[in-house]
Amino acid sequence: MVKIICETGYCSGVNKAINKLSKAAKESNKVFLLHPLLHNIDENDKLMKENNASYLEDSSDYEDNSSLLFSAHGYRFSDYEKYKDKLKLFYGTCPIILARYKLLEKNNNDYYYIFLGKGNHEETMCFIDNFPFLHLIDTNLDLNEQIKKLKVKNKKIFFIPQTTISNLKKEECLSILEKDNDVIKKLDICLSYYNRIKEIDTFLSKVNKVSILLIIGDKLSSNANEIFNFVKNKYPDIEVYIENSFERIKEIDIKNKDIFLTSATSTSKENVLLIKKQIENYLL
């Protein structure tokens, strides 16, 4: 059996970024990016090629009517200032992230702002660069130790999590903070990604056989890794892999097993359906 077990395909934020890339390509002679548009190298490279886009380097020549597209993960205000008079700017940034930028621009000195995220993730780096008053807690490191070093106590906390971290990490961090502080405001992780995990959980809770879950996506994708870690920890008897092509999937022993499919939010539904068909033909 080969079965797609939850919603797949791009989230609305990635769809917006792709639409902005298409718009920039139609309105410009050349489109530049500072970072990958989405965390899926294969699909990112394909989209860039289709839209005559390339990465902006210090040595790049700006043609007349060239544009710069900011990625789905955010942008630095310093880049905005640097290029606003040189290139036409397009914003492929996720609407959730843009809304948080606007919220943080109204910085209230009464709050102690904490950002919880992966320190090496583009979304996190943009937030920390744009808003120096944010105190970073890195999900890759020990949460207790980091909070202890902040010496935060009896503060009014404004809590902002990276949109694609695990809900468990978010709740763990909040639990530590709430022991000695009043968390006045707290934002949530991306519901599109979180609801996908809940759908996967509901389905897998009813599976009795040893089986395989394939997350169609790039290993660089934060939400692909969060789905992987969730399944690995809660359902240790289920084999789980992050793969982006049928050629790599063929290297896994998938015969005589139930194959369940989901995807990262930076993977197209078309690619998921194509890989499903390729697996089915391979197993005939």
Fold of 97-189: Cobalt-precorrin-4 Transmethylase; domain 1 (3.40.1010)
Class of domain 12-95: alpha beta
Residue pLDDT, tens place only, 99-134? 999 999 999 899 999 999 999 999 999 999 999 999
Residue pLDDT, tens place only, 26-54? 999 999 999 999 999 999 999 999 999 99
Residue 217: closest CA among 92, 97, 39: 39
* pTM for this predicted structure: 0.91
Q: Do domains 2-9+192-283 and 97-189 have the same CATH topology?
A: yes
Residue 242: closest CA among 222, 270, 269: 222
Residue pLDDT, tens place only, 60-107? 777 789 999 999 999 999 999 999 999 999 999 999 999 999 999 999
* 232 half-sphere exposure, CB direction, 13 A CA radius: 11
Q: Per-domain residue ranges for the chain?
A: 2-9+192-283, 12-95, 97-189
| CATH, domain 2-9+192-283, list 3.30.70.270, 3.40.1010.20, 3.90.660.10, 3.90.1720.10 | 3.40.1010.20
CB count in 10 Å sphere of residue 166:
23
Residue 216: closest CA among 282, 130, 128, 277: 277
